[in-house]
Amino acid sequence: MSEANISGYYFRPRIDTELLLALDPKDVFITTACVGGLFRYGYDDAESLIATLAGRFKGSFMLEVQYHDVDLQKDVNQFLLRMYRKYNIPLIMGCDSHFIHSEDKVLRDQRLEANHIVYEDENDWHMDYPMDDEAFQRFVRQGVLSKAQIVEAMDNTNIFLDFEDVMLDRSKKLPTIYPALSQDERNAAYEALVWQEWGRYSAGMSNAEKHIREEGIRYEVDTITSTNMSDYFLLDHAIVKRAKENGGIITETGRGSGVSYFTNTLLGFSSVDRFDIPVTMFPDRFISKDRLLAGN
């Protein structure tokens, strides 16, 4: 099985199988994810874990197939098809998307170079986020799944629309870990947490280094508190903290555009300091006051 990503942390299944199986099937939805874990742990171990998860989570568990036209992905898809037939587990399409449009690849390459990170053998993998027709044709070119299986896997990505408690409207839906506090008090708690972590992070910095970062902190904190989005970050901070306590390891590159918010780095969501890399990163690419107030 592959690593389960939570806010930039990952868990290896051999370590956390007991924790995973303790989850309530009504509260989670699980897929097998990308090829890394299946290849690393071997198909015998993968089948054993797949059978266990299918027995525990039933309709909340699916086998994730992807459309990369490379031998490793073909082998994994063929293995998953055997599991699909043997255990009657549904298929679901996954996209290993690191950017939206294919022309955005250059921006990702710049970020990797800035962080001195090199991933081998990536040239033949699709890392954009394609439209449905293109995704379908990629599966066809790969030549492993039948057209009916491709349609099943793609249709199952819409299963989240069937969740009874999901309402598609413009209202903000943020769970809180501080239900007894007012929104103003939760905003204050978020701001205090950020400055507390800044105190630790800034130890030993020069005044010039502190000044530019403190300007960024004030801008980002104002964006979050003035739009009443503090609960998201308070909850994510608690999740990441718990993840680390249970053996989680933060990824060096962070998760998507979230690394452009320096306050996210302070809260432990990434290790990227946007003020200390050669590639200019704009915080509004992650989130802005106008977009939040517009409900986007």
pLDDT in tens, 222-270: 999 999 999 999 999 999 999 989 888 887 766 678 888 999 999 998 8
Residue 2 has pLDDT above 70, yes or no: no
pLDDT in tens, 125-154: 888 899 999 999 999 999 999 999 999 999
C-alpha count within 13 angstroms, C-beta hemisphere, residue 145: 30
Contacts of 66 (CB under 8 A, 6+ apart): 34, 35, 73, 77, 93, 94, 95, 96
Q: Which of 11-15, 111-115, 164-168, 196-200 has the highest mean pLDDT?
A: 196-200
**What is the residue extent of each domain of the chain?**
4-95+130-162, 183-293
Q: How far is the C-alpha of 224 from the C-alpha of 286, rounded, in Å?
A: 12
Q: How far is the C-alpha of 79 from the C-alpha of 72, rounded, in Å?
A: 11
State residue 295's pLDDT score.
65
Nearest to 240 by CA among 203, 205, 197, 187: 197
Decide: helix, strand or coil at residue 203.
coil
Q: Name the CA radius of gyration of the chain, rounded.
A: 21
Q: How far is the C-alpha of 192 from the C-alpha of 186, rounded, in Å?
A: 10
pLDDT in tens, 18-60: 888 888 998 888 898 888 766 566 778 889 889 999 999 998 9
What pTM value is reported for the model? 0.56
CA dihedral sign, ordered 248, 267, 165, 135? negative
More confident residue, 275 or 6: 275
Q: How far is the C-alpha of 4 from the C-alpha of 145, rounded, in Å?
A: 25
Report whether 230 contacts 190 (CB < 8 A).
yes
Mean pLDDT of the chain: 85
State residue 8's pLDDT score.
33
